[in-house]
Chain A
């Protein structure tokens, strides 16, 4: 009883601690049964539906680095997001961060796995032909790179020097890898059964999912691939979609009991923890070894702390 109360209080403290630390955007099922985009505070409060589009499913949102825009993919309602190919599906849309003025960029299937450049003026896109860096205003391809085995979940680092993604070319499939934008040189960050990589704000480390046994766990590693360490594991649940807070102190994730992340296409509760409390381990019959905030059911969340505008 005392232990449960202590857990509850620790979670409440964590919630208070993160409340003002920006916004989280995520895809989730809305009241009409379709997938919409939502924003909330990192403690799960102030939830707002950004899209409200019963004819479409929206997912895979990413804030622009300045927090003023979001990009996401939009599908007809009859089409389901595929958990491994969601970045290839539907249309790429860019809207204001509050969901207004959505603008479709390209044809269905175009600009797959789009990821913002640090200045928000370009996107990196990954297709079977390679990696293209595209100017958003002119739609011109400003640079191309061989994809070197990258096949999904590519993200551009905050400093603009690197791309991370899931790759096939490091002795095995499903390695998390890093590519230098200037040279195209690649290195493995973590090999074998890894996915959903994303950057730490300093562009030196990567958060990702790794399945060393029955359940997929949340791990982090230096981007050179020299050292990796566990962040969170939960027996009975696969953890995916890690996203580090803009200040680098917390991590947000989602997951599911099904191996492919979301087989029933319903999303799963998000979790949030302090990186200084990691590694946290949770067994079904015991409370977690550190505080984990349980947040609304969602998929592929992204966290931003917009910089205050001048004069405000």
Chain B
């Protein structure tokens, strides 16, 4: 019985496609997600690991109003669902706030270990589309409006290893 349990755990561990060497810690001091937290692995219908390749413009201060800001990602790995292409557009709610503190009574469930958004960082994202139907009733800042492609709503955003 005990041997079977150990074997099951070993198999489960080996079965993770994205399991790798122990990753370095993030600037926030927490290890980036390598296997996916329960939230990132279950929320939304699309789960990817992606590099944040572009943030056009500057985030307005949050004292003005709540808003959703669209950022451009390059998909490295897909864990669940099927993204539309390897470059995707993702809307984050009030991106000046750490994801762990971004949820409010209007946003629905959002969160994650991402503390701030910097080009070049790798995130593991739980996403849902279309953005317009998922996001709260607030302003949308999409500097890529002339670029075609599905806009995704970021439900969960964890730091991740490349």
Using a CB–CB cutoff of 8 Å, the interface residues on chain A facing chain B are 83-85, 88, 112, 126-128, 149, 151-152, 166, 168-169, 171-174, 259-260, 263
What 0/1 pattern do residues 66 to 93 of B give for CB contact below 8 A with A? 1100000000000000000000000000
Nearest CB of chain A from residue B139's CB, rounded to whole Å: 4
Q: Which residue of A lies closest to B61 (CB)?
A: A259
Main secondary structure of the interface of B (DSSP, over half): loop
A243-B146 Cα distance, complex, nearest whole Å: 34
Contact present for B145 and A84 (CB under 8 Å): no
- For the complex, what is the distance from the CA of A151 to the CA of B139, rounded to whole Å? 7
Q: Across the interface, do B145 and A260 meet the contact criterion of CB distance under 8 Å?
A: no
A85 CA to B139 CA, complexed, in Å: 11
Residue of A nearest to B133 (CB): A128
* B137 close to A (CB within 8 Å): yes
**A-B contact list, 20 entries, CB within 8 Å:** A83-B65, A84-B66, A85-B137, A88-B106, A126-B137, A127-B137, A128-B133, A149-B132, A151-B139, A152-B137, A166-B139, A168-B132, A168-B139, A169-B132, A173-B141, A259-B63, A259-B64, A260-B64, A260-B65, A263-B63
Q: Which of B64, B133, B137, B140 contacts A88 (CB 8 A)?
A: B137
Distance in angstroms from B33 CB to nearest chain A CB is 29
**Chain B residues packing against A (C-beta within 8 Å):** 63-67, 106, 132-133, 136-142, 145-146
- Residue ID in chain B nearest A87 by CB atoms: B137
B133 surroundings in chain A (CB, below 8 A): 128
Interface contact tally, CB-CB below 8 A = 45
What CA separation (Å) do A174 and B63 show in the bound complex?
A: 16
B65:A128 contact, CB within 8 angstroms: no
CB distance B145 to A151 under 8 Å?
no
**Quick check: B137 and A172 within 8 Å, CB to CB?**
no
Partner of B137, one of A83, A151, A259, A260: A151
Bound Cα distance A112, B67 (Å): 19
Given A128-B133, A149-B132, A173 contacting B139 (CB threshold 8 A): yes
Please determine whether A260 and B142 come into contact, CB atoms closer than 8 angstroms: no
- How many Å lie between the Cα of A44 and that of B138 in the bound state? 34
Nearest Cβ distance between residue B152 and chain A, in whole angstroms? Answer: 15
Quote the shortest CB–CB distance from B109 to chain A (angstroms): 15
Q: A85-B106, A260-B65, A263-B63 are in contact. Are A173 and B142 (CB under 8 A)?
A: yes
Residues of B within 8 A of A152 (CB): 137
Most chain A beta carbons < 10 A, residue from B133, B138, B139, B146 = B139
With contacts A126-B137, A149-B132, A168-B139 known, what are 16 further pairs, Cβ within 8 A? A88-B137, A112-B137, A128-B136, A128-B137, A151-B137, A151-B138, A152-B137, A166-B139, A168-B142, A171-B146, A172-B141, A172-B145, A173-B67, A173-B141, A173-B142, A260-B63
Q: Which of A151, A152, A169, A171 has the most CB of B within 10 A?
A: A151
Give bound CA distance, A65 to B157, whole Å. Answer: 48
Complex alpha-carbon distance, A263 and B61, angstroms: 14
Partner of B145, one of A83, A88, A171, A259: A171
Distance in angstroms between the alpha carbons of A128 and B136 in the assembled complex:
7
The answer to whether B142 and A172 have CB atoms under 8 Å apart is: yes
Q: Which residues of A contact B132 (CB under 8 A)?
A: 149, 168-169
CA distance A174 to B139 in the complex (A): 6
In the A-B complex, the 8 residue pairs with the smallest Cβ-Cβ separation, listed nearest first, are: A173-B139, A168-B140, A151-B137, A173-B140, A171-B145, A84-B65, A174-B139, A259-B64
Q: Across the interface, which residues of A come within 8 angstroms of B146, CB to CB?
A: 171
Collect the chain A residues with CB atoms within 8 Å of residue B142's CB: 168, 172-173
Residue of A at shortest CB range from B106? A85
Which residues of the other chain, B, contact A166 by a CB distance below 8 angstroms?
A: 139
**Separation in Å of the A295 CB from the closest CB of chain B?**
26
Find chain A residues with CB under 8 A from B139 CB.
Answer: 84, 151, 166, 168, 173-174
Which B residues are in CB contact (< 8 Å) with A263? Answer: 63
Q: Smallest distance from the beta carbon of A163 to chain B beta carbons, Å?
A: 15
